[in-house]
Amino acid sequence: MTQLNGRQRLIRAGRRLFAEKGYSGTGVREIAAEAGVSIGLIRTHFGSKAGLREEIDRQVIAQIEELCSRATRHLGTEALEHLIEDAVEWVERERDALLYLRTSLMERTPGSQALLRELLEIMRRFVQINRRRGLLQDGVDEEWAAIYLVIDFLGPAVLEPFSEQEFGMSMYHREMVKRRSAFMNRVSTRGFMKS
Amino acid sequence: MTQLNGRQRLIRAGRRLFAEKGYSGTGVREIAAEAGVSIGLIRTHFGSKAGLREEIDRQVIAQIEELCSRATRHLGTEALEHLIEDAVEWVERERDALLYLRTSLMERTPGSQALLRELLEIMRRFVQINRRRGLLQDGVDEEWAAIYLVIDFLGPAVLEPFSEQEFGMSMYHREMVKRRSAFMNRVSTRGFMKS
DNA sequence: TTCGCCTGTATACGATCGTATCGTATACGA
DNA sequence: TCGTATACGATACGATCGTATACAGGCGAA
């Protein structure tokens, strides 16, 4: 991290702090201090605090797009498993990005609307492709299937900050993921309750 | 609303503004203005801004507890339908409370941890009862079933602020709810994809 | 009545907010 | 080696933050 320049360090620091304490809960002095640079640099590179957020938004949205579109190249329940596994790997690599995504979604950032739409579009396409391949059960409400997939993608992210306390480990811990993957696979093909 | 006293009006105003713009995004002057009282009254009744939030937390948590425990007195998929329908009625009556719940959960309020735990406990009990009555399929991961239920309860709340834009109506609009209820019923008993 | 209490208002205070300004150091091509 | 752009720092400014203080009217108990 030390070899990063001021601009990149500000992005890192901003992403982490916005994720943890929210946009309006974080001051520019705090960001600059964590990045180890002076406050003025925010203005130099991003114009303002809001400009910094926009840049962070852009980068995180790009990561999510990449993540989802790579996983949904597969089909059926296999694609869902890929999505979960890719998400785990991503979270291990860029945990701050996930928590930022979560916070941003809750704060109704300019970028968060775009992010949600992108997520919905990806899931809609996924459902559509699977229907064409005959992998969808008959009579399924396709729009709700897409919404359902978005919710189940975001769910663990929403619970993540409470996960250590409630379950003793991260929602993206290998063991947790294995159980989640098994459960989701089962639910999506057979359900879990008797009718 | 006009016949409410200062204390109650502050709670209403705080709940709405915290829900919309977050805790640190909302100033005490704004709350007092919306409530139509003076700033000093926050200190009189709640000691501080944080004290006001704690009081709001208490009230919203109580509402959620009431909501969930009433619905889960029923069994099986019928209980899930009840939960959805009760939630709709609650949202129609107290829309701000739902949005507050959402925001609070994202901000990791002192109260939000308690709320999530309560939600988990309710769902765990629900799963356990259904297992005893033989309404659960064999070999289901019960802990994950509870987590899954929490996620699917919170999901629409998370999407709600984007719902009007993305779907043209609230997540708790009758039509939306009907489709959601049907989809969730189907998924929980049969899934939606072929294996 | 008078006292104390409760609800409520008005305003002042110090801290912190985001932003603007001005400064220097370094790098690099002409 | 000069000119200029870029990278970065120090500090000042006005606004707004949450909180504290001072005080006013209403009301029941003495």
Rounded distance in angstroms from the CA atom of residue A61 to the C1' atom of nucleotide C25 = 36
Nearest CA in chain B to A22: B107
For chain B, how are helix, strand and coil distributed in percent, rounded to 5?
75, 0, 20
Give residues 4 to 43 of A whose Cβ lies within 8 Å of B: 21-25
Residue A108 pLDDT greater than 90, yes or no: no
| pLDDT tens for chain B, residues 1 to 195 | 446 889 999 999 999 999 999 999 999 999 999 999 999 999 999 999 999 999 999 999 999 999 988 888 888 888 888 888 999 999 999 999 999 999 999 888 888 999 999 999 999 999 999 999 999 999 999 999 999 999 999 999 999 999 999 999 999 999 999 999 999 999 999 999 998
CB–CB of A57/A109 below 8 Å? yes
As a whole-number percent, the residues of chain B with pLDDT over 70 amount to 98
Give CA–CA dist A69/A147, Å, rounded: 16
For C17, which residue's CA is nearest its C1'?
A27
pLDDT tens sequence across A143-176: 999 999 999 999 999 999 999 999 999 999 999 9
CA distances to A27, A116, A132, B53 from A81, rounded to whole Å, are 39, 21, 20, 40
Q: What's the pLDDT score for residue A53? A: 96
Residues from chain A contacting residue B154 (CB–CB below 8 Å) = 155, 158
Asked if A163 and B113 count as a contact pair (C-beta separation under 8 A), the reply is: no
* pLDDT at residue A72 in the model: 83
